[in-house]
Every structure is written in structure tokens, then in C-alpha cells.
Structure 1
């Protein structure tokens, strides 16, 4: 079974693309979702996060994501320290998940797939792209309290599509006039023996 990564910047359309792959019965590992679960279930991780950011980032033993994000996006050193403790746990968790999957391939969706080094554990990587303004509009739609400036600030801490391209074997453009389903089907057919 092939291990395939799917990555792209905020608002690029990764989740929509993954839904199409799910319709093809391809299992999906959502790294962001699983990382959020680990914050609340891994006691050692929780202790390390509290040491870095203070106990106030947890309320009733649950991570306050918006407070942590505010602290992380304003401090590059703390962001790097957080990534150093979270990414290895997510990588170990996803490696275990992949072992339980069957079929021609399974997908791991992660915005920071390249930055975290997780792509090294995978056979191929799919990059999902869209124009920056399109991405900003999509993110504003699902996070109406965020300003365009705040979204750009968050986007700027991620690698650009051009920086990610050399690590990716496939590319999907998620905006008009490009048709999404034919792009997904072309990749699916290449990955299925």
C-alpha cells in the first residue's frame, strides 16, 4: 500500500479534495484533527505545552486553540518549539494509522507536511494550490472574525506553493477554470495498480 501526502496552504482546498478521495473509498488521516486530539489526550504533551505557554492555554483540561494560536503566531521561536514537540507525535501516530490501512493507497492530509519533514515517510505528495486571494476569501468565509491581515500573517509562516513544489509529485489546482474531479481521478488512476 502506498502512503500519499496531501498538502497546501490555508484555504487551498485540501479538505474538499480529500472528500473526493473519500468518495473513492480512500482512507484519510487528518493531521490537524489528530494533533488537536493529541493535545487533549497525551498528558506528557499537555505538560510540555503548559511549560512553553502557561496553564491558561488549557481550560477544563481542553486546549484553548485560539489562545494557543495567538501565542504561537506572534512568536516564531515558540512556534518552532511547539512544532518540535507536536510533529514527532503526529508522525508516530500517523505511521501507526497507515499500518492499519489496506487498499492501493491511503492519504495523510497536513498543511505542514513539508515543513515538518513528514513527507519523508511518504511515497508521494500531492500539492493542492489556489491563488492567494482565493485562499484568503475561503479562510475568511469559515473564520469571519479573522482579518485579511491576520490570515496573511498565518499564511506567511507556511512555505509557499513554489517552495513546496519540488517535494511534490502531483498537483491539483482548486479554482476555476480547473475542474477538480478530473484532476483527482487522474491521480487516483495513477496510484491504483
Structure 2
């Protein structure tokens, strides 16, 4: 099975692109959503999080307190490294289980915001970046997350890989810049990926 990673900076519109692929019956693994799910549902990971970041990591209802955790790790590389060391191995296991469940698909997409910053890119055959100009990404994110300030969004953009670097390391690019239509690009990529998948299954 061919594994395609899909990434893009905040506000690039990769979720919309993933939905387009899902309409073509392509299974999409959403790393962020699955990480949240694993953090809630994996008892071993819960214990690890609580012993590392304290009882406030989960609220009284037993839900993960994301703002608390984000505030602990956002400006602290050491704490972030601890969080990643706990979460990444469990998400990796979850991804392998998910792959087995979708083994009949010619190819799958793995969506990850931090594809190159983490080791996610090592688990896929090719990477597709959804690209959009920074100003447009800022505008979209402000519209989508009214609780965030322009400064917040700038800080997130600066923490992510520079666009040029992301494009340099990707094998495929889809432009979501409001000038080119997304769907024709998705359909063309879909044909390309099906072709690659059938080639790799013959070898």
C-alpha cells in the first residue's frame, strides 16, 4: 500500500484538501485528531502525561486540558520533547493498527501539520504539501480561530518549517492560493497516486 503524507502550514487548507480526497474514497489518517483520541483513550499514556505534567493535565471530567498542556510546552523545548516522547510512540502504534484496518485501499493519506518537524515523514512514501501564501494563511486562520490574535498566528508560523523548506522536501505540491481550483488538482494527484500504487504493487 502506498502511503502519502499530507502537510501544510497553519491556514494552508489541508483539511479541505483531505476532505476532497475522502470524497474519492481515499482513507485519511488525521494525526492531530488521532493523537487527541490516543491521549484520552490510552491508559498508559494518560498515566505518563499525569506523572510528567501533573494532575491538571486532565480536567474533573477526565478530558485532556489542551490549553494547560499547550501553555506548558509552547515556549519550553524540554517540556515539548517530553510530551513528544510520550505521545509519538503511541500515535505510531495507532497508525499501524489503522493501516491494517485499511489494507485494501490502493493508497492512504496521513495528515500531519508537523510532517518534517517530527519523524512523521519517515513513515510515508511521498509527501504532498498544501501551499498558500503566508498573508492568505494568516487571514484564513484569523477568520477560522477568532480567539487567536495575529501575533499568536505569527508565533505558530515561525515555529513551523519555512514554506520554501517544506516545498523543497516534498515530492508533490497542491496550490490552495485562491487562484487555482483545488478539486482539479486533487483529481490529478489522485490519478498520479493510483498509478504509483499500482506500480509499487507489481514490484
Whichever of the two has the greater Rg, that structure is 2
User: Cα deviations across residues 85-126 of structure 1 (Å, max 9, x unaligned)?
Assistant: 212221221122112212221111110122211211211110
Contact 1:3 1:98 in 2 (8 A): no
Deviating above 3 A after TM superposition, structure 1's stretches of 4 or more consecutive aligned residues are none
What is the RMSD of the two structures over their aligned residues, measured on CA atoms?
1.4
CA distance in 2, matches of 1:166, 1:87: 25
CA distance in 1, matches of 2:155, 2:52: 22
Alignment-derived partner of residue 69 in structure 1: 70
SS at the partner of 2:82? Answer: helix
| TM-score normalised by structure 1 residue count | 0.94
SS at the partner of 1:63? Answer: coil
Aligned residues: 193
Which consecutive residues of structure 1, in runs of 5 or more, have no partner in the other structure? none
Contact 1:73 1:154 in 2 (8 A): no
Q: Are 2:56 and 1:56 aligned?
A: yes
Alignment-derived partner of residue 109 in structure 1: 111
Alignment-derived partner of residue 186 in structure 1: 188
CA distance in 1, matches of 2:82, 2:165: 22
CA distance in 1, matches of 2:168, 2:100: 27
CA distance in 2, matches of 1:4, 1:181: 18
CA distance in 1, matches of 2:132, 2:192: 23
| TM-score normalised by structure 2 residue count | 0.89
Alignment-derived partner of residue 128 in structure 1: 130
